[in-house]
Amino acid sequence: MTTPRAGTAAPHVGDLHPHDAVHDHEPSFLRKYIFATDHKIIGIQFLIMSLAFLLVGGALAMMIRWQLGYPGQAMPGGTVLPETMAPGGVIAPEFYNSLVTMHGTFMVFFAIMPLLVGVFGNYLIPLKIGAPDMAFPRLNMASFWIAVPAGIIMIFGFFAEGGHAGAGWTAYAPLSASPEHSGVSLGQQLWCVSLIVLGLSSILGATNYITTIINMRAPGMTWFRLPLSIWALFVTAVLVLLAIPILSGAVIMLLFDQTIGTHFFLRAGEPLLWQHLFWYFGHPEVYILILPAFGMVSDIIANGSRKPIFGYNSMVFAILAIAFLGWIVWGHHMFQSGMNPTLGTSFMISTMLIAVPSAIKVFNWLGTLWQGNIRFTVPMLHACAFVSMFVIGGLSGVFMASTPVDIFIHDTYFIVAHLHYVLFGGSLFAIFAGITYWYPKMFGRMMSRRWGLIHFWLTFVAYNLVFFPMHNLGLGGHMRRIYDPNQYEFLQPLQGLNEMISISAFVLFTAQLIFAANFILSWFKGEKAPMNPWEDNSLEWTVPSPPPHGNFAATPVVYRGPYEYSSPEVEQDFLPQTLRLPTDRPPAAASAGD
Amino acid sequence: MSWLLSPGASTYARDIDAIYYLILVITGLAFVIVEVGLIWFLFAYRSRPGRKARYTHGNNTAEVIWTAIPAVVVVMIGIMSGSVWTHIKGHDSVPADAIPIGMEARQFEWHVTYPGADGELGTDDDFTVRNQLHIPVGRPVVLHLVADDVIHSFFVPAFRVKQDAVPGMSIPVWFEATTPGQYEIACAELCGLGHYRMRGMVTVHEPEAYEQWVREASTTVAAAR
């Protein structure tokens, strides 16, 4: 049985008069929408916050692309920036370093991670497992309201004397630790403080997810009846709980190096220690940024194909294998760092092995599509784009996993291409799939399909025009994070390609404004959403759109897995998890909750 | 938009390039198979009225096949890469007859120290020049790479050589140039505000020309002292 928790403001499921209970406890506006404890509201709060940061991160990328496409030319509108950033509208080198640093920081920590974990973790977990809310709703509220000041602190860094952090989102020491070499002190310190605060938010969230999934599954919702999105979020939460404290510890040490004169990462200490700590966090972080995407895409592809997911058990074990391997591959970021070369060989082998569970996932998605009856909804298009783009990101990873090839392509645009194929082509397409899929549930309205299609195709084409040629830039030797490639003779022939990429990037950014408009306008003007617009089997589609406070009028009982599409047992091509067929026996009451 | 690498100018460039092309062919093949399969499925199994999808939960034989094949392929790539890696960066990989040269990276320049006439670093006849690395063709050199302030990365694309320079560490980097000419040295690790212009130049001489350059440079530097 689901156990109502102390401190839960939600009416207990199974109450005799749930509706009365809702009215009795109708919270004030402030309690309902601002300091909310309802997981759905918190999910939507995270959604709005992280989409705003996605826009900020994108705007920073546009400035980077301006400088690379048109080095040294005044940026249109650039004169509104202070003289310290862009004198005469021309981006200054130190500001360029802050741009690349903050683009990465905002995208990884304040956009993609909260979108995947904060939004979908919060919104989907209780609904999909049949729980009234999270195990610890107040911790959940705290998790959001800790993330907000972290973001504000990070933005403040732009206005700090000496400029914002400029040592890259990876903040390699000693550059990040010694203001006399970077020229940045306060900006880098704010960067540290913000990430320490944000880490607290992530830890609270992860604790909540793990507890909720273990303890609050509805009767009959066994582990192997969980949707893959929930499996992925569960494993992700475990990774967050284990990885974030490592980052926090390292960042605190970095802050001490700057402020109280310690020498953890300075010359007298051990500069490589920072890289080991950062990537020991950072590689699991990479999987934190992709596993929830795997899960959501699996749900959406099964639904769009009208077929059970192919190889459910393999998909679960692949998630677990990736999560495990993620802890023993961090050294592949450090092949050229001066780390013992023999270690390089062992990290290469463990890294290569990650191709195996990744391939299992891709082939099982293809297996799901095979002989399906595919509906091309907007979320389904994004999910298919995810698969095709993730394949490119996965395959390009083999190049840099190979230690000798990495000698050449390390720290070049080949890496930039690779990471964007995984983080944009992978994670962000999955996020678009997820938002367009669950938007009707979240807001009770449908997004416009026409504008959804326009956004999808523009994004898909422009995205590939931006990032695919970056492989070729990298093969031409183009280094990352350089302000003006024309300083080098061997890079000058690549300038035309750089300009083409920049123009495509401007189109890509503009296309996202279409998504923003569709998102906002549909909220007010969209067609009213039915309870189950995609004819999905999962529990969240058995409650109204949007679901009421407390989610379920009565605790749902689960009879099967979430992927019973086109089952011969029923006429329609979907079979909800809660639908009791004459052959189904109710689960033993206490089987799932304990 | 080329997937071909620019011509290499060091002995091991061709080993690195060979692995690169091998991976390019293998991943290219995988890319085509998966993407064509995906597009084919999306077209062939598009929704049509009155049709129902095939009801299946998977196939164990298929799982075994697509687990085993990638595993064998990547381990094979790993083993082939491992031997090239050990040849280039392994502990005992530096050839015994390599000319020692000191290479100190600092914001935002390369300080190159030559061993002088005695062929040994750390003696009185050493001399240092900025941003200019001169080496003979057909003979290995070993750079003792150090950093003065922050991490830099020594990168000569034509030689397929890249190695971070880390404060507090001295890292040997060897290579043997195969073609006389001039090649650019780049810094590949973000090292601060002037990172983008931390540029140097390698000049690869014929052996006699190299000897002559060393003689001239050592007298010029000595005269300046």
Q: Note the pLDDT tens digit of each residue in A138-174.
A: 999 999 999 999 999 999 999 999 999 999 999 999 9
Residue of B nearest to A408 (CA): B160
A443-490 pLDDT, tens digit each:
999 999 999 999 999 999 999 999 999 999 999 999 999 999 999 999
In this predicted structure, what is the pLDDT of residue A589? 54
Reported residue count of chain A is 594
A367-398 pLDDT, tens digit each:
999 999 999 999 999 999 999 999 999 999 99
B132-176 pLDDT, tens digit each:
999 999 999 999 999 999 999 999 999 999 999 999 999 999 999
Residues A277-300: what's their mean pLDDT?
97
Beta B141-147 vs B99-106: how paired, if at all? Answer: parallel
B12-62 pLDDT, tens digit each:
999 999 999 999 999 999 999 999 999 999 999 999 988 889 999 999 999
Beta B141-147 vs B152-156: how paired, if at all? Answer: unpaired
Question: Given an 8 Å threshold on Cβ–Cβ distance, is A272 in contact with B166?
Answer: yes
Closest CA to A355 of A399, A385, A398: A398
Question: Does any CB of chain A come closer than 8 Å to the CB of residue B196?
Answer: yes
E strands present in chain B = 99-106, 109-114, 127-130, 132-136, 141-147, 152-156, 161-165, 171-175, 181-187, 200-205
A chain contacts of residue B66, beta-carbon cutoff 8 Å: 359-360, 363
Examine the pLDDT at A13 and tell me if it is beyond 70.
Answer: no
In this predicted structure, what is the pLDDT of residue B91? 86
In this predicted structure, what is the pLDDT of residue A231? 98
Question: What tokens were used for A180?
Answer: 């006399």
Examine the pLDDT at B87 and tell me if it is beyond 80.
Answer: yes
Amino acid at A538: S
Helix (H, G, I), strand (E, B) or coil at B167: strand
Residue of A nearest to B193 (CA): A94
In this predicted structure, what is the pLDDT of residue B225? 66
User: Which B residues in the span 108-147 are in contact with A, Cβ-Cβ below 8 Å?
Assistant: none
Q: Is B220 exposed, middle or buried (0-12, 13-18, 19+ CB in 10 A)?
A: exposed
Secondary structure in 3-state letters for B58-98: CCHHHHHHHHHHHHHHHHHHHHHHHHHHHHHHCCCCCCCCC
Classify residue A3 by its DSSP letter: -
Question: Does any CB of chain A come closer than 8 Å to the CB of residue B37?
Answer: yes
CA distance A3 to chain B (A): 33
Examine the pLDDT at A317 and tell me if it is beyond 60.
Answer: yes
CA distance A347 to chain B (A): 10
Question: What tokens were used for A28?
Answer: 């004030």
User: Which A residues in the span 435-464 are in contact with B, Cβ-Cβ below 8 Å?
Assistant: none
Test mutation, A91, A395, A500, chain B, max B CBs within 10 A: A395
In this predicted structure, what is the pLDDT of residue A28? 83
C-alpha distance from residue B145 to each of A338, B170, B172 (Å): 10, 5, 6
Q: How confident is the model at residue A180 (pLDDT cuts 50, 70, 90)?
A: very high
A chain contacts of residue B188, beta-carbon cutoff 8 Å: 410-412, 479-480
Amino acid at A174: P
Examine the pLDDT at A19 and tell me if it is beyond 70.
Answer: no
Examine the pLDDT at A111 and tell me if it is beyond 50.
Answer: yes
Host H or E run for residue B221: helix B207-224
Picking from A363, A407, A469, the nearest residue to B162 by CB comes out as A407
In this predicted structure, what is the pLDDT of residue B219? 85
Examine the pLDDT at B189 and tell me if it is beyond 90.
Answer: yes
Helix axis angle, A137-156 to A39-69, nearest 10°: 20
- Confirm whether the ipTM is greater than 0.90: yes
Examine the pLDDT at A520 and tell me if it is beyond 60.
Answer: yes
Question: Does any CB of chain B come closer than 8 Å to the CB of residue A348?
Answer: yes
Residue B139 CB contacts under 8 Å (≥ 6 apart), including other chains = B97, B98, B99, B176, B207
A chain contacts of residue B70, beta-carbon cutoff 8 Å: 355-356, 359
Query: Looking only at Cα atoms, what is the longest distance across chain B?
Result: 93
Residue tagged 């298929």 (tokens):
B62
CA distance B19 to chain A (A): 7
Question: Given an 8 Å threshold on Cβ–Cβ distance, is A407 in contact with B187?
Answer: no
In this predicted structure, what is the pLDDT of residue B116? 84
Report pTM.
Answer: 0.94
In this predicted structure, what is the pLDDT of residue A18? 44
Q: What is the mean pLDDT of chain A?
A: 93
B chain contacts of residue A168, beta-carbon cutoff 8 Å: 190
Q: How confident is the model at residue A6 (pLDDT cuts 50, 70, 90)?
A: very low
Question: Given an 8 Å threshold on Cβ–Cβ distance, is B186 in contact with A484?
Answer: no
Question: Given an 8 Å threshold on Cβ–Cβ distance, is B66 in contact with A360?
Answer: yes
Examine the pLDDT at A7 and tell me if it is beyond 70.
Answer: no
Question: Does any CB of chain B come closer than 8 Å to the CB of residue A474?
Answer: no
In this predicted structure, what is the pLDDT of residue A25? 63
Examine the pLDDT at A22 and tell me if it is beyond 50.
Answer: no
CA–CA dist A398, A290 (Å, integer): 17
C-alpha distance from residue A552 to each of A14, A438, A589, B209 (Å): 9, 17, 17, 85
Question: Given an 8 Å threshold on Cβ–Cβ distance, is A372 in contact with B62?
Answer: no
Geometric angle at alpha carbon B195, from B191 and B198, rounded to 5°: 115
Picking from B48, B75, B162, the nearest residue to A336 by CB comes out as B162
CA distance B221 to chain A (A): 27
In this predicted structure, what is the pLDDT of residue A447? 97
Closest CA to A144 of A118, A115, A121: A118
Question: Does any CB of chain A come closer than 8 Å to the CB of residue B182?
Answer: no
CB pairs A-B closer than 8 Å = 289
In this predicted structure, what is the pLDDT of residue A269? 85
Residue of A nearest to B56 (CA): A308
In this predicted structure, what is the pLDDT of residue A11? 42
B192-212 pLDDT, tens digit each:
999 999 999 999 999 999 999
Picking from A172, A408, A567, the nearest residue to B162 by CB comes out as A408
